[in-house]
Amino acid sequence: MSVSRAAAPPSAKLDGVVKEYPGGVQALRDVSVAVTGGEQVAVVGPSGSGKTTLLTILGTLERATDGTVEIAGVDVDGASDRALAGLRAHRIGFVFQSFHLQDSLSALDNVATGMLYCGMALRARREVARQALKRVGLGQRLDHRPGALSGGERQRVAIARALAKRPTLILADEPTGNLDSRSGAEVVELLHELAEEGSTLVLITHDEKVAATFPRRLRMHDGEIVEDES
Amino acid sequence: MSAVAENLPPVNPPAPGSERSRLPGRELLGVAFGGLRSRKLRAALSALGIAIGIGAMVAVVGVSASAQANLIAEIDSLGTNLLTVSPGTDFTGKSAPLPATALPMLSAVGHVQNATAVYDTGQSVFRTPYVPAAETGGLSVMADTGDLPEVVGAPMISGRFLSSPKQQLPEVVLGSAAAQNLQIYHLNGRAMVLIGNTWFTVIGIMGNATLDASLDTDVFISLPMATKYFKTAPHPSTIYVRSDQNSVTSVSDLLGPTANPMDPSAVNVSRPSDVLEARAAAKGQFTTLLLGLGAVALLVGAIGIANIMVISVLERRGEIGLRRALGATRSHITAQFLCESALLAAIGGAFGLLFGAGATEVYAQAKHEPFVVPLYALIAAPTAGFLIGALAGLYPAAKAARLSPTEALRA
């Protein structure tokens, strides 16, 4: 990809972000971080340290209680729910620990569903989905339902779903958490490869070996970024 | 660069924040169908509730419309050109008998095809002399001039009618209900009934006189016999007149003055087919109660759908969260669940229409009536289903849209 990394605008920029849940629990305290376009970042930390909350704020699924959040050039605080949905539909791809595939749909249609809200017609979505599944090595599994796939394959379907619309930002929440170490390693490698094609990747993990494959690592503790190593 | 990158849309955005989340109607329908398909049995069972409700209502409407159509067809086949003339009251409020000349006068009116009269003999009819005189069975003995079956359109079930106005034989013809009452079902030559002190031979049984059902409980003897044995006065109690089909109204206007020139207002003229048509229309009113029962079934069906949708929202929290993550707005989620429940109920409504029409068909076959399902039912049944489903889905859909995406994803 010919995008110049240095000149790319930040994919995500958080400034003094606080996230407080009802009952006074502070999941994030004064988090400031910028992720440049095309960067690959691992977020590590013990459970309860605020990793997933950080990811939901980056993914615009939740709004910060305080501070400013800018994702793909959009000021999240000032944006309507509808505008944020548009941002998620076109710019953000999610990969979850528990895959979140629909059992009643084939691998192809699961991936095609990833572009449902982009306003593309079904035929076009299926075509892109076919390409994306081939890209993740599941070209032979298009018509299989998730139930007929192994854990690693399911996560690859989920990755294909996230990347098919070519998002600027891929957010992965413990994508290897439900996989054995070999499939886990394959999945991480695939994510790296795909991100190389031009997306920013933010991946949450508590696995140090996975984190070690990333050029930049954010370490979190008690809702704060305690270390930013690269 | 891999081949895929060339096939996929470019990464660089046209303008930040300019892209909208969209769900075109066709895609929405596909999503809703998909949601139902993934839970086939449950969808079928909840649609069944609506189908039963709508089916019951369609059947009620269909059966009553078929019965009504049958009655109207019957009336049409009997003709709507029969008029009846009966004594009314004079200005003092006393009953004013029709003059003895009324029948020949009416027969002479232009556009009158034929006319006949019945005369009340005031007698009762018994099967044996041992029946107490008070047990008349509600049967009346009427005298007639001979053309009654033809004029009122009542066929003879067996035997023949009184053959001639001059008939001097003690013969009697029974109305259909009178024959039942006297337990005379066939004529094997020996059936006799007692009128006054005279035995009369039963020579015929008349079928139902639909246009004037009061004739069914009468028995008929000839006027000369009635005069001879019972001193029956020659004042007709009812005159039946068949007019030309196109002149019914004008003939009707002439009947009063012609029958009783001295006091035309003391004559009642009516058109029995009008009464029957009004009754056929009124028959539809009885269905209101049954429709109410159908509505209750429908309400239960709607609650069933609401229930199943609430459960569905709880079960599909993960899916809802995922859709929000994929870019669905709250209104997309509302629309999806509303569409699912409306589709479910519309399918139920369509099947209900089939059930109802089937039930009507079975009924119509059994009763040899025409099969009629009113046109409005064809449109109303699925539409009602759709609206009920949308209504039932309102709460669950709103609940689904309110779910926080992160909470939903955690479920």
Chain A residues near residue B1 by CB distance under 8 angstroms: 1, 197
Chain A residues near residue B5 by CB distance under 8 angstroms: 1, 197-198
Chain A residue with the nearest C-alpha to that of B316 = A102
Q: What is the pLDDT of residues B263-308, one digit of tens each?
A: 888 888 888 777 777 766 666 655 677 778 888 888 888 888 888 8
Average pLDDT over residues A66-70: 94
CB contact under 8 A, A61 and B21: no
Q: What is the pLDDT of residues B52-103, one digit of tens each?
A: 888 988 888 888 888 888 877 877 777 788 888 888 887 787 888 888 888 8
**How many Cβ contacts (< 8 angstroms) between chains A and B?**
139
Q: What is the dihedral of CA B21, B27, B30, B35, to 10 degrees?
A: 10
A83 closest CB neighbour out of B17, B22, B34 = B17
CB atoms within 10 A of CB B228: 14
CB contact under 8 A, A85 and B327: yes
Q: Is residue A5 part of a domain?
A: no
CB-facing half-sphere around the CA of B2: CA atoms within 13 A = 15
Whether B317 has its CB under 8 Å from any CB of chain A: the answer is no
> How many angstroms separate the CA of residue B328 from the nearest CA in chain A?
6
- By CB atoms closer than 10 A (0-12, 13-18, 19+), residue A118 is buried
Per the rule left: phi > 0, alpha: psi between -120 and 50, beta: everything else, A26 is beta
Chain B residue with the nearest C-alpha to that of A102 = B319
Compute the distance between CA of residue A90 and CA of residue A68 in angstroms, rounded to an integer.
Answer: 21
The total of structural domains in chain A comes to 1
- Provide the pLDDT for residue A128: 95
Residue ranges per structural domain of chain B? 25-73+283-410, 81-277
Does residue A3 register a pLDDT over 60? no
Whether A11 has its CB under 8 Å from any CB of chain B: the answer is no
Q: Is residue A35 part of a domain?
A: yes
- Provide the pLDDT for residue B8: 52
Window A:61-120, CB contacts with B under 8 Å = 61-62, 72-74, 79, 81-83, 85-92, 94, 96, 98, 100, 102-105, 113-114, 116-119
CB B251 within 8 A of CB B109: yes
Q: Tell me which residue range forms the domain holding A122.
A: 10-229
CB contact under 8 A, A117 and B22: yes
Which pLDDT band, with edges at 50, 70 and 90, does B167 fall under? low
The DSSP 8-state label assigned to residue B10 in this structure reads: P
- The enclosing domain of A117 has a CATH number of 3.40.50.300
Chain A residues near residue B11 by CB distance under 8 angstroms: 1, 3, 166, 168, 197-199
CB B223 within 8 A of CB B144: yes
Element of type H or E holding B346: helix B330-367
Which pLDDT band, with edges at 50, 70 and 90, does B334 fall under? very high
- Provide the pLDDT for residue B411: 65
- Provide the pLDDT for residue A30: 93
Interacting residues of A190 by C-beta distance below 8 A, sequence separation 6+: A136, A137, A156, A159
CB atoms within 10 A of CB B159: 17
B27 closest CB neighbour out of A62, A100, A122 = A122
What is the ipTM, given to two decimal places? 0.92
Chain B residue with the nearest C-alpha to that of A133 = B4
Q: What is the pLDDT of residues A149-195, one digit of tens each?
A: 999 999 999 999 999 999 999 999 999 988 898 999 999 999 999 89
In a mutagenesis test of the B interface, which of A13, A61, A103, A193 is the best target, namely the one with the most B β-carbons within 10 Å? Answer: A61
Compute the distance between CA of residue B125 and CA of residue B332 in angstroms, rounded to an integer.
Answer: 81
What sign does the CA torsion over B252, B254, B259, B262 have? positive
Q: What share of chain B is helix, strand, coil (3-state, %, to 5)?
A: 55, 15, 30
Chain A residue with the nearest C-alpha to that of B10 = A166
Chain B residues near residue A103 by CB distance under 8 angstroms: 38
Taking the mean position of all CA atoms in its chain, how far away is CA A144? Answer: 24
Compute the distance between CA of residue A36 and CA of residue A202 in angstroms, rounded to an integer.
Answer: 11
Chain B residue with the nearest C-alpha to that of A135 = B4
Out of A156-160, A201-205, B120-124, B294-298, which region has the weakest mean confidence (pLDDT)?
B294-298
Q: Tokens in use for B363?
A: 């009924």
